[in-house]
Amino acid sequence: RVVLDRCDFKSFQDTLRLDGRVYVRECRIEGDVDFIWGGGTVYFDRCDILALHDGYLVQSRNGAEKFGYVFVDCLIDTVPDLKRFVLARIDPARFPHSHVAFLDCTLGAGVSAVGWIFDDRGAAASKDTTRFWEFRSMTLAGKPADVSQRGAGSRQLTTAEAAQQRDLAHILGGADKWNPLSK
């Protein structure tokens, strides 16, 4: 169990590899090409995330029995002139249960309308088991983000589903009922 509170992480590829249960609050994270990745269950709370080059933000490698990465009230932005930056990429044959959720996040103009990439490399795995989810993504101008071009394997959550994903105890609690906000 790890808490990262008000930290700055600056790198390029592989800025943060997160395994285990991690609570990340009000951090600034910069990088490119799967710069947040690993097999952990991670809750990002009000973080600012900046992409330095075209590529993708997350590669979550969790199993079916657990959550992956949940971003809540985060800003996902890019340096100027990027056009092909996506939220996540996964090979569903290798990691068929990848879980990434963006809830009430603000997306900069450089985030691709496609949103997610599936690297199939000849894979026969179904995208039905991959959990690439969003709820109320907004633009920097405060308008609803256009999610009409999001690909298969991703979906928009209902209000009830988003509330469950937003619940810190539900995502990080585990058998020991860990609450990273308690002293």
pLDDT band at 139; cut points 50, 70, 90:
very high
User: How far apart (Å, rounded) are the C-alpha atoms in residues 76 and 93?
Assistant: 27
Residue partners of 74: CB distance under 8 A and separation at least 6: 44, 45, 46, 47, 48, 49, 102, 105, 106
Full-model pTM = 0.93
- 3-class SS string, 112-161: CCCCEEECCCCCCCCHHHCEEEEECCEECCCCECCCCCCCCCEEECCHHH
What digits encode the pLDDT tens for the residues 72-91? Answer: 999 999 999 888 888 988 87
The residue among 48, 74, 62 whose CA lies nearest residue 19 is 62
Find out whether 86 and 102 touch, Cβ atoms under 8 Å. Answer: no
Please name which of 55, 47, 103 lies closest in space to residue 78, comparing C-alpha atoms: 55
Helix (H) or strand (E) holding 83: none
| Per-residue confidence (pLDDT) for residue 126, from 0 to 100 | 59
Whether residue 118 has pLDDT greater than 90: no
20-70 pLDDT, tens digit per residue, is 999 999 999 999 888 999 999 999 999 999 999 888 888 888 888 789 999
* 141-156 tens-digit pLDDT: 999 999 999 877 789 9
Structural domains in the chain plus CATH codes: 2-172 (2.160.20.10)
User: Which pLDDT score, from 0 to 100, does residue 121 have?
Assistant: 57
Q: What's the rounded Cα separation, in Å, for the pair 57 and 86?
A: 6
Reading the block at residue 63, the tokens are: 């199993």
Average pLDDT of the residues of the chain = 90
Q: Supply 65's token pair.
A: 């029995």
Query: What are the structure tokens assigned to 2, written together?
Result: 């790890």
Of the pLDDT bands very low, low, confident and very high (cuts 50, 70, 90), residue 4 is very high
What would the mean pLDDT of 109-132 be, rounded to a whole number? 76
Residue 67 exposed, middle or buried by CB count within 10 Å (0-12, 13-18, 19+): buried
